[in-house]
A and B are shown apart, each in its own frame.
Chain A
């Protein structure tokens, strides 16, 4: 049967099993919107700004592992979505972005709402396409989903001119597609697996450091098996939280700039490091010259270009994290050898000493609401079972430090790009994917304001998200850096003229709450969480001066952490000394 290009787009989405798409209509996209109107298989979620569409699709994808789909119009439609696409690219989210384009005969004419979508998005997509012929539409969409979801996942953009959506052709959707130029490796090299096991078994001071790749590959169960079998300490990156259960004693917490003292010191002093699905980002390594000076490194990653990019690796293994870790487990099971028990005992004794510093301590007797306390209470009130999205800044770090994630795909934040405004729209995608679960968005007053318009979308689709706004009237992380490194010159980091968030939430049809005393925190959370069918915006008025500790300042090594003032240390002191 012959279908129009617009109908083909929608049929392809249906045949890919796509349940939700996130978008916003406009002139060039109208044929596709008309096709959406005529069916019920694919549900369209109307956002209030295209950035929100991309973040919502991103949140949906991260919570489910399925591709997120975005539909935007030409010109400003796609440019508005670019921040969301770049966010997904940096965190390797599988995503397909459909952007409408002006008709082919107008391309290059500076037509109304024309922009070079393929050119603008090229540096922040895994791949992109411009479809100039309706006969290319089906194979291109099939390729788009294949590329987005395989190998190291990422966003793929398909730019579709309006006339292509009007033309007709036969519709047959292929079940699979092969490309001569694209064939990601999944299995690790057996020889490298053997070498890795040899090195692991000979370690005296080992550490297993894992990132978002373990989440993307759904390799958490395999990782847990590996860590427990070896009895080695494990640390997760910001993107990898949940891969190893936070409550397990072998877990050292998050590492990196605001990671725990024990995780960073263990990274610094280790003799063997097993990195899985992590990319040695600058927020993880600190100063590369001082990074893990004694470590022999095994690095597992599906993206060969991540290996050896920042640090020298002794045993590179290219492959899917789950398949490779399963192979490591199988190889370990074949061996009689066990790790040196005496060395391991000494190593754990050292780690326990570092742990005893209790680097995440904060003032629990304050009259002001401490943001860390809110996150701890949120953890308890939700039984540790919430899906948590966050924006970017101090609240993000506190959520990462204080909400102990025991499972993957429950901590959803913009790690790579650090996009303020991500949290609320991402929570919409997460809530749609898990309608019966508790979805919370931990945010700050600066971040939430960046995509606040999506409160309207939440109302339209009855998304009962629980927003935890840690309101310190500052861009907290900016203020923290200005306090430490700019002699307290708080240049443009104060949030003056903030709205009344309670009234704001209510004006959108939601429930608003303001909490000003530490003693009211838990009751407020309990009350908010008991509201099952409505969005609740909790505006916590928190201590303005609180900082995120511990901290590795820029240019410092893992063994040069600043601890909280309670631990008798301040960055200023170190800077002056």
Chain B
């Protein structure tokens, strides 16, 4: 099962490596990991997407909670939640491709954020599936590079991860 785990941790040097070291030392897989400071500069928020059986996810949650730098943790996939990922794509855009790509970007509600004579740079936000679908839709276009942020997320309703 795929799980999205959000973690509030002390914004201190080495905190990230404690988390990533835990995953590698215990053989848990990380699909994506994002981290940035929150509105409280002493706290960072990390989002980890991982896969595992219920037993493994339970261990991941317990081991993360055991880290002294981890203040609070929430498995977003336990309830209704919103997940988003940001993707930047640079594509070759010449001749008819210029129109075609623009149409696709509109359909996926993305934006063209940089233009040259031969390229477009596109921005798209959404779920992992939507971004994957967009990349697939660009099949006939030459993709020069792709940069994806990894998933971040937040719980719906009143559930919140704060201190």
Contact = CB atoms under 8 A, between A and B. Distances in A.
The answer to whether A and B come from one shared complex is yes
Interface of A: 118-119, 122-123, 126-128, 130, 147, 179-182, 303-305, 308-309
Contacts of B70: 181
A183 to B, nearest CB: 10
Interface stretch (B6-14, B100-108, B119-127, B137-145): B6-14
Contacts of B71: 180-181
A119 B18 CA distance: 9
A118 B62 CA distance: 23
Interface string B14-57: 10011001000100000000000000000000000000000100
A308 B18 contact: no
Contacts of B55: 308
A123 B58 contact: no
A123 B17 contact: no
A308 B54 CA distance: 11
A181 B42 CA distance: 12
A67 to B, nearest CB: 16
B59 A180 contact: no
B9 A123 contact: no
B119 to A, nearest CB: 38
Contacts of B65: 304-305
Nearest to A181: B71
Given A122-B17, A127-B68, 17 more contacts: A122-B14, A122-B18, A122-B21, A130-B13, A130-B14, A179-B68, A180-B163, A181-B71, A182-B68, A303-B66, A304-B66, A305-B62, A305-B63, A305-B66, A308-B58, A308-B59, A309-B59
A303 B68 CA distance: 13
Contacts of B14: 118, 122, 128, 130
B69 A181 contact: yes
Contacts of A118: 14
A30 to B, nearest CB: 26
B105 to A, nearest CB: 43
Nearest to A305: B62
Contacts of B69: 127, 181
Nearest to A119: B17
Contacts of A179: 68
Contacts of B66: 303-305
Contacts of A130: 13-14
Nearest to B58: A308
A304 B62 contact: yes
A298 B159 CA distance: 32
Contacts of A180: 71, 163
Contact of A123 (B25, B59, B68, B163): B25
A120 B61 CA distance: 24
Contact of B21 (A123, A126, A147, A309): A123
A309 B66 CA distance: 14
A309 B63 CA distance: 10
26 contacts: A118-B14, A122-B14, A122-B17, A122-B18, A122-B21, A123-B21, A123-B25, A126-B68, A127-B69, A128-B14, A130-B13, A130-B14, A147-B68, A179-B68, A180-B163, A181-B68, A303-B66, A304-B62, A304-B65, A304-B66, A305-B59, A305-B63, A305-B65, A305-B66, A308-B58, A308-B59
A128 B17 CA distance: 12
A118 B18 CA distance: 10
Contacts of B9: 181
A541 B55 CA distance: 50
Contacts of B21: 122-123
B123 to A, nearest CB: 35
A369 to B, nearest CB: 43
B162 to A, nearest CB: 12
Contacts of A303: 66
A320 B9 CA distance: 25
Contact of A181 (B10, B13, B59, B62): B10
Nearest to A303: B66
Contacts of B59: 305, 308-309
A303 B70 CA distance: 15
The 9 closest A-B pairs by CB, nearest first: A305-B62, A127-B68, A181-B71, A304-B62, A182-B68, A123-B25, A305-B63, A305-B66, A122-B21
Interface string B62-81: 11011011110000000000
B6 to A, nearest CB: 15
A470 to B, nearest CB: 35
A216 B134 CA distance: 57
Nearest to A304: B62
A127 B21 CA distance: 13
B17 to A, nearest CB: 7
A118 B69 CA distance: 14
Interface string B109-137: 00000000000000000000000000000
A119 B17 CA distance: 9
Contacts of A119: 17
A182 B69 CA distance: 8
- Among B59, B63, B66, B69, max chain A CB count under 10 A is at B66
Nearest to A128: B14
- Among A118, A119, A304, max chain B CB count under 10 A is at A304
A130 to B, nearest CB: 7
Contacts of B63: 305
A516 B18 CA distance: 53
Contacts of A181: 9-10, 68-71
Contacts of B17: 119, 122
Nearest to A180: B71
Contacts of B163: 180
Nearest to B13: A130
A128 B18 CA distance: 10
A238 B70 CA distance: 32
Nearest to B72: A181
Contacts of B25: 123
Contacts of A309: 59
A118 B15 CA distance: 11
